[in-house]
Amino acid sequence: MLYDAHNHLQDERLDPWRDEITASISQSGIAEMVVNGSCEEDWPQVAELTRNHPWIRPAFGLHPWYVKERGPHWLQNLRKQLEDHPTAVVGEIGLDRWIENPDIDAQLECFRAQIALAVELDRPATIHCLRASGLLEETLRAAELPRRGFLLHSYGGPAEMIPTFVKMGARFSLSPYFGHPRKTAQLAVFNHVPLDRLLAETDAPDMWPPDELNPHPLKTADGASLNHPANLRVSYELLARTRDMPLEQLEATLATNYHTLFGP
């Protein structure tokens, strides 16, 4: 059985296919997935999916892309969602210098508040980081961190930083996008992740695999590519190949790792 450590099944881009996707999850070999909310507007959608599908573990967080749109009571609303869902993860949260005109001060304020909430409620966290690995390391070093640990999803940082993040409690997940030839060097970074800190994800509907590795292609009406949650197997196969492990052994290891971080 496969475990998706990070996706966005609630994303409106998946609206035309969501019923088909949810009906076929068991046939895809997926035992559970963490569905991440990104802003106040989509937290109720994640909650609704969770009520309807027992194989969804919800996550609620304010993504750095949306800090400028946060409401005055966003943190109280986030707390309520987490308290209403005792198995929920704090996520997706993080830091991002890649977006245009990032408000880093606002990102840091929101990130620190959400890490503190994860500590208080004893929840794991899922962290997004783009072009901010050094700032993330500095920020985490100065904070009290979740006892349960945290996930650096679609890890894009250098291999040299992995030991530092491991000491802080990090896990590292790989998405199907790392199968693109231009991501070969980053795929190799996952050879440096300790085996007990390794996870797989899709980040659907984003981070789709290259066409030659994509058994479940999705296209919007205007031709844009989307990632299908069933492409989780692509992530497993990429990890098995780069780690030179039998797929069955990897599946067992990642199942243990998933439950260690997120719970039973």
Per-residue confidence band for 26, with pLDDT thresholds at 50, 70 and 90: confident
Q: What is the pLDDT of residue 195?
A: 98
Q: What percent of the chain has pLDDT over 90?
A: 100
pLDDT by residue (tens digit) across 105-121? 999 999 999 999 999 99
Mean pLDDT of the region 141-156: 98
Phi/psi class of residue 213: alpha, beta or left (left: φ > 0; alpha: ψ in -120 to 50)? alpha
Q: For residue 58, give the 3-state DSSP assignment.
A: strand
The overall average pLDDT reported for the chain is 98
Strand-pair category, 56-60 with 89-96: parallel
Cβ atoms of residues 14 and 205 within 8 Å: yes
State the Cα angle at 129 between 127 and 131, rounded to 5°: 170
Q: What is the pLDDT of residue 113?
A: 98
The pTM score is 0.98
Helices (H), ranges, the chain: 18-23, 43-52, 74-84, 104-121, 133-141, 162-168, 184-189, 232-243, 247-262
| Tokens of residue 4, six digits | 């998706």
C-alpha to C-alpha distance for 133 and 175, rounded to whole angstroms:
18
Q: What is the pLDDT of residue 239?
A: 98
pLDDT by residue (tens digit) across 196-229? 999 999 999 999 999 999 999 999 999 999 999 9
Cβ atoms of residues 78 and 62 within 8 Å: yes
Q: Domain boundaries in the chain? A: 2-262
pLDDT by residue (tens digit) across 28-48? 999 999 999 999 999 999 999
C-alpha to C-alpha distance for 55 and 33, rounded to whole angstroms:
7
Q: Tell me which CATH homologous superfamily contains domain 2-262.
A: Metal-dependent hydrolases (3.20.20.140)
Mean pLDDT of the region 163-183: 98
Cβ atoms of residues 126 and 151 within 8 Å: yes
Mean pLDDT of the region 52-78: 98
User: What CA–CA distances, in Å, run from 243 to 44, 49, 158, 194?
Assistant: 38, 34, 17, 11
